[in-house]
Every structure is written in C-alpha cells, then in structure tokens.
Amino acid sequence: SHLRSTDIRTDNSPLQIFVKAKKKINDIFVEIEDYVQDTVGFMKSLQAERNIVTAEEGERVESYVDKVHAIRDVLKRDHMKVAFFGRTSNGKSTVINAMLRDKILPSGIGHTTNCFLQVEGSDNGESYLITEGSTEKQPVQSVGQLGHALCKEKLCESHLVRIFWPKEKCLLLRDDVVFVDSPGVDVTPNLDEWIDKHCLDADVFVLVANAESTLMVTEKNFFHKVSTKLSKPNIFILNNRWDASASEPEFFEQVRAQHQERAVDFLSRELKVYTPKDAEERVFFVSAKETLQARMQEQRGQPSHNGALAEGFQTRYFEFQDFERKFEECISKSAVKTKFEQHSQRGKHIATEIRQTLDEILDRTQKMKSEQLHVKKEVHDKLNYTEQQLMLLTQEMKDKIHHMVEDVEQRVSKALSE
Ligand code: GTP
Ligand code: MG
C-alpha cells in the first residue's frame, strides 16, 4: 500500500506544463485566426471603395489566413516524443511497457523488435496500428495479436509502425507523450537513416543499457551521431537488469560505482551534453521487468510483489519512479521550448505585419480626408467611417493579439526558467 500511494499521479504532473501551454497556444491561434479573418473581410469592403486599399495589400493580408491555419494544424498534432535506443535484448520494449503499465509491445525471445514502433494515444478507446505508407487502420484486440500483426508484415528495419492505444489506459498517453521503440543499435548499418527519420524531432532519448555488461561502442557511436545532428540532445541512461546484481551482493557497490562513472563520463566528457554534476542526475539503475510485473499486479488490485522477489526490489522500483519524474520534467520543458517558441514568434510576426498594414491604410485615409475636405459631404462621411473602423480594428489588434502572444512568450520563458 505504501508503494501504491507514491505511485498515484495527480494533475500536478510535470507533463501539465506542456499540456497547459498547448491548450493556451491553441486557443490563442483560434483568436488570431478570427482577427485575421475579420481584417480580411474589412479590407475587402475597403477595396470596393476607391483606392483606399491596394489589391496587393488585400492579398498580403489574405495570405495570412492560410499561414495561421497551417500553424493551427501543426499545433494540434504537436506532442512530446521520447525515443529508446540500446543493444538488442537490453530491455527497451520492456522499459516502455513498464512506463505504459501494461504489456503492450512484444518483448523477449521470438519478439525481437524489427522495425520502429511508435506508441501514441488514440481517442474513443480504439486500439489499432498503421504501417508506414498506408492509411489503413488495422484493429488490434490484444498484445498477442499485435505481435502477430507485426510478424506477418514484411517490414524494413527503419520503417515505422504506429500503434494507437486508448488514451484512458495510461496518463502518459493522455498527456500527449509518444513512445518510440527501436531495433537494437547493433543490428543496423543504417544509423544515419534512423537518425534522420526518427530522431530529429525527439525531445528526449533514453539509452537502455545492460547493467550486466558495460556501455558498448555501438551504443556510444549511435549517440555520438545523434549529437552531431542535434545540438545538446536530452539523454537519460537506464542501467537495466539491475535485479541481476542482487545475486552478487559482494560486488554490488563497486559495479554500480563503475557504471555510474562511465555513464557520467560518456554524457559529460564525450558527448558534452551535460556537466558531470547534471549528468549524475541522468543515470539510473533499474529493473524494467520487475517494475512492469509490479505494476501489472497493482492494476489487478494485488500487492506489487508477493515477497518472493529479489533483494532490493523496493529500491529499484523507487529508482524507476524517480527516473519517470525527472523524465517528465525534462520532456515537457523541452517540448514547450522546441515546439511552441517558434509558433509564438510566428504569431507575433503575423500580428505585427497586419498591424503595420492597417496603420499604413489609416495614415493614407487621414491624408485623403484632409485633401478632400472640400469635396462632397458623402465622400467625406465615407472616409470618416473608414477611419473610425480602422482605428477600432488597429486598437483591437494592438491590445488583443499582442497581449495574447506576449502571454505565450511569458509562459515559454517561465517554463524554461523553471
Ligand atoms: P530487442 O527488441 O530484441 O532489441 O530487445 P529489447 O531491448 O526490446 O528487449 P526486451 O524488452 O524484448 O527484453 C529482452 C528480455 O529481457 C525479455 O525476456 C525481458 O523479459 C528481459 N528483461 C527486460 N528487462 C529486464 C530486467 O530488468 N531484468 C531482467 N532480469 N530481465 C529483463
Ligand atoms: Mg524490443
């Protein structure tokens, strides 16, 4: 029961930084789209008038409708992406299953992962998969069936199969985390292709290492390549299968210290992605297999272990939870920065451009008005009306859009400084 209470996740999960920022920026772009549309409508009515608005100005403002729409489409699809790499059989698929709290991905003998598998949340409680190059949803009823479906496909190792799993079944999926499982880094000659295809938009990488051996050159090489293409990737190192150490308690401390030192050295001195002190915080000693078992037990309402588990289970289980907490903080901050900062800059740019155009038109109207003071009253009134509308519209743009975009910027910088 002690374990279960620490395991309950509430909505003060660090993932909410991303979830809330996403909602806010989506709302803002809905409003921006409304304003752009209003402006277009107004400009059209002015174009009908004599020479107040040029055709070119009209087109320019109208082009923002598509731009804003495109940004909204991207925003809707934005998520947090974590990719798992490591040598074959180190337990990559098991780690993902442990985080998802269920045996979703096939793992173990005869279930070697032979292409990229992306697990993401689906709405309406549906489970299905979509293979690369297809749009057909293949329903998946069970894990066994998923394994079968993956075997029967003729898949190339760098291909991607997207697995959609009901959001309600896992908080991480609900909060827009997307998991990418990979074949062992030791089985491919195509690391560059892997990186270009699957890694460039990843927010976090997890190296699943085997605590029974030492970090391998193939594993290191992979991350060296990643860090040439991405500046300062976020990397966690899981020394998995740490339960195996329980059988040799006399070497336990020594082995742990050695793994820790090598992992920290790799992250700080070799890859130069963290200081040695920060790197310490990125290395964990866990057992994915035990964690998964414990969680499946809990899900069935049974105690997380039956007493027959290897010594040190509790500590390893806590360390896995500690990893998850740090992972959540890291991924949500990183995703807010990489995904939303750009959008908020573009939103601000669009707002500024439109304002400038409206200011120019306002200026022109005022000039025309003073030049034509002596002409017919009718024309004079028309210009007066236009001027008023423009004043209102620019004022609104000024106040609202700017406020909104600045608000997002503040959120982004707040998330970054936190
Ligand atoms: P590939 O897909 O073949 O590259 O392997 P993988 O890295 O996905 O490993 P997978 O999750 O399939 O695990 C391989 C085997 O190791 C399975 O039989 C797991 O049950 C076992 N395993 C995974 N994690 C642990 C662990 O922490 N401790 C122990 N003892 N066994 C584990
Ligand atoms: Mg696997």
273 has pLDDT over 70: yes
In the predicted model, what is the mean pLDDT of residues 182-197?
89
In the predicted model, what is the mean pLDDT of residues 175-199?
91
H runs (alpha helix) in 210-301: 217-229, 252-265, 276-280, 288-299
Give residue 6's pLDDT. Answer: 40
Q: Give me the phi and psi of 161, to 5 degrees please.
A: -110, 125
What are the pLDDT digits (tens) for 13-22?
899 999 998 9
Q: How far is the CA of 88 from the centre of ligand 1 (A)?
A: 8
- What is the band of 3 on the pLDDT scale with cuts at 50, 70, 90? very low
Q: What is the rounded (10 degree) CA torsion for 226, 227, 229, 233?
A: 90
Is the Cβ atom of 245 under 6 angstroms away from ligand 1?
no
Least confident of 78-92, 107-121, 166-180, 225-239: 107-121
72 has pLDDT over 80: yes
The residue whose CA is least distant from atom 17 of ligand 1 is 108
Least confident of 122-126, 252-256, 336-340, 394-398: 394-398
Neighbours of 122 (CB within 10 A): 18
Atom of ligand 1 nearest to the CA of 86: 7
In the predicted model, what is the mean pLDDT of residues 234-240?
98
Least confident of 45-49, 158-162, 222-226, 245-249: 45-49
Q: Give me the phi and psi of 139, to 5 degrees please.
A: -65, 145
What are the pLDDT digits (tens) for 357-371?
888 888 887 787 777
H runs (alpha helix) in 2-54: 2-7, 16-47
The residue whose CA is least distant from atom 15 of ligand 1 is 108
Give residue 285's pLDDT. Answer: 97
Atom of ligand 1 nearest to the CA of 90: 7
Q: How far apart are CA 224 and CA 205, in angstroms?
A: 13
Give residue 323's pLDDT. Answer: 98
1 has pLDDT over 70: no
In the predicted model, what is the mean pLDDT of residues 44-54?
76
Is the Cβ atom of 291 under 6 angstroms away from ligand 1?
no
Is the Cβ atom of 103 under 6 angstroms away from ligand 1?
no
Q: How far apart are CA 178 and CA 164, in angstroms?
A: 10
4 has pLDDT over 60: no
Least confident of 122-126, 318-322, 392-396: 392-396
228 has pLDDT over 90: yes
Give residue 390's pLDDT. Answer: 75
In the predicted model, what is the mean pLDDT of residues 188-197?
88
Best residue among 87, 89, 239 to mutate for probing ligand 1's pocket (most ligand atoms within 8 Å of CB) is 89
The residue whose CA is least distant from atom 23 of ligand 1 is 91
Best residue among 97, 107, 179 to mutate for probing ligand 1's pocket (most ligand atoms within 8 Å of CB) is 107
User: How does 210-225 read in b/e, with b if 16+ C-beta sit within 10 Å?
Assistant: bbeeebbebbbebbeb
Is the Cβ atom of 121 under 6 angstroms away from ligand 1?
no
Tell me the pLDDT of the chain averaged across its residues: 86
What are the pLDDT digits (tens) for 362-404?
888 778 777 766 666 667 777 777 778 777 777 766 666 666 6
* pTM of the full structure: 0.85
Number of helices (H) and strands (E), helices first, in the chain?
15, 9
